[in-house]
Chain A
Amino acid sequence: MTPTGFVTSDICPLDDNHCLEGFSCGTEPIDLFIRGGLRKDHKRYKVRARVLCQESDGKAVGLYSLTVGALAPKALSGGILRKFGNWPIPTVYLAVIAVEASVQKQGVGERLMFDAFERVLDIALFAGVGCMTLDAIDDEKAKWYQKLGFEEFGRTDDGKPQMFISLSAIIDALA
């Protein structure tokens, strides 16, 4: 029994045995994506998803996905890039993280974030990574990420906070 109050397996890569049908974190666009395109994107290696399931029935209670990305200078390329010295910063992007509504506030999100930080560190051991990035779903969630050390660097077109945390902060946390 975990401190979260229900029996779970370890967090593992998404596979065909994981049941995402009916998954609901309470945010409809995320739920629709998880039930719809996530598995396809995972299989095509556009993102890689990892899942935490109930041992009893294999039902997913939480998941996240990562993909590589970059922080790149706006409207600059080629010679201008060289002149000003702003090269893209390689990143790992937390594309989605979600916890089933019925088990929220029980530590599942924290376990998923911890696993994601470990995976970011794994990636950084084999390829350059400057930081981890994410788009917070709203300002309230952004405050939670800020407490973890994420900093806002901009907003998406629809106003979501864009955030980053340095690799060195992740290394320090996992030391």
Chain B
Amino acid sequence: MATYSEEIRSSVKFVDRDKLAQIEQRLAKPAKATPALKELVRKAREARGY
């Protein structure tokens, strides 16, 4: 079994061909940020002072 350190170095993720095709299709379409992500950005900018 890989150690935690070895695991996080494994930044190449192998996925099934069909799943990879699905992801490619998802990435091909413009995506909108979720309300939670927009709120995270707003709070983080506020914490930075702008």
**Closest A residue to B22 using CB positions:** A153
Interface residues of A in 125-175 (CB under 8 A from B): 130-131, 133, 135, 147-149, 151, 153-154, 156-158, 162, 164, 166-170, 172-174
Interface membership of chain B positions 1-16, coded 1 if the CB is closer than 8 angstroms to chain A and 0 otherwise: 1101101110111111
Q: A17 at the A/B interface (Cβ < 8 Å)?
A: no
Find out whether the CB atom of B43 lies under 8 angstroms from the CB atom of A3. Answer: yes
Find out whether the CB atom of B30 lies under 8 angstroms from the CB atom of A133. Answer: no
* Docked pose: A41 CA to B8 CA in angstroms: 11
* Docked pose: A164 CA to B37 CA in angstroms: 14
Find out whether the CB atom of B11 lies under 8 angstroms from the CB atom of A67. Answer: yes
Find out whether the CB atom of B30 lies under 8 angstroms from the CB atom of A153. Answer: no
Residue of A91, A167, A173 most packed against chain B (CB within 10 A): A173
**Closest B residue to A106 using CB positions:** B47
Could you say which residues of chain B place their CB within 8 Å of the CB of A167? Answer: 27
Interface membership of chain B positions 22-45, coded 1 if the CB is closer than 8 angstroms to chain A and 0 otherwise: 011011011111101110110111
Could you say which residues of chain A place their CB within 8 Å of the CB of B41? Answer: 114, 117, 173-174
A-to-B contact residues, CB < 8 Å: 2-4, 10, 29-30, 32-33, 36-37, 41, 46-47, 67-76, 84, 86, 88-89, 91, 93, 95-96, 107, 110-111, 113-115, 117, 130-131, 133, 135, 147-149, 151, 153-154, 156-158, 162, 164, 166-170, 172-174
